[in-house]
Structure 1
């Protein structure tokens, strides 16, 4: 593994995902021991040549010798490409680079709702991405789509349960956003959309947990006790994760109870 020396990635220390992959670069030897640094620890000198508005949105790779900076997907291509030149050649092809750039933005602008972390308010520099309506709506739409199709498949595994259809599952998944938003009617739009993003991440997480049973059912006959037990365990995990995110977002705790209430109402409507 070739090491890219004298280069430092400025990562968001409040983002578990950012911390994980930058640590991986250092441990794998792609970057040297000084290859990562928290954005909030930028020195006064570094602040003179690092774009403080762009860096929170696109991870910055600082060339410590030349005092130049690479941003976003190009930073990651430079790090990975130094060890794997073929990957760099492929990633820099215009169509592929365009797709990678859009995918990077999709994750970066939504990273606080994908894997939220507790922000350290004492830090003068905060690596918080700009709020981007386009990418937030795209993320919510993506999570809605995946959740709808997995729940459609899983619902039909449960015997003596009304036959499911895509429209019903989509309405239920979207309905929870509307229902929960009613209890946040007095707050600003960004707060509601931040919560909606976290809400859909919890739903997406639950759907992904259900997917192994859904896949297994295509190969063997899965007993109803396992199907129902797995579903119950998934709901419990989602409940705990929703509660954790409410605390991080500093939103009213009653949102967790309304989250449960919505599911009770939805189940009642389905059964009747």
Structure 2
């Protein structure tokens, strides 16, 4: 933990107000990390590396074991989340998908959850624009072609989004090519998320609305959407982390 500056916040806080907390809220973020790590994270002390770095990290220890496929941080730590750049625009607030059934029926849905997937560019910035991803221009992503997204071998899963003021939108997505027997790559995954978001925008734009989160299926609106990451909220459901950037925001 050398060179890490301990956060001057309440423990976890949850966790250090990263993208997952901004998306799901503090209490749901606490429950999410409890499911991923298998223990209560309320008393953990996540930290940053200082100097304006956006990574939020925890030590690899029995109190905060790295979940499957977590990104490594500085030696001895793993990356939990990233500090949002709120000046670009708000993170889209969502409720996490919740399976139905009794406690015993629901519990298996939360077993073996993998670490969040973050779309990181070669220049170190976080997120890929919807326009670039849907157009197949994911070559700016770190690990776009040479690495594969481990832990996504399931033939089918669901992408789900709960955009404010709109109902739940889900779509069955194939994340594994059984003919070639490989895991989906980061660039391919970004495009799948983008295509899913495109389908959502097309359907949601048909619903009239008069609120701050109204969806438009226009080039201008699509250009404002930044795909930050993808969170496995249950064994069979992933939800994207989306930032709705201001019209004049520069998305690198």
TM-score over 0.5 (shorter chain): no
Which structure has the highest strand share of the two?
2
Report which of the two structures shows the higher radius of gyration computed on alpha carbons.
Answer: 1
Which structure has the highest helix share of the two?
1
Q: Which gives a bigger RCO, structure 1 or 2 (Cα 8 Å, sep 6+)?
A: 2
Q: TM-score, normalised by structure 2?
A: 0.31
Q: TM-score, normalised by structure 1?
A: 0.29
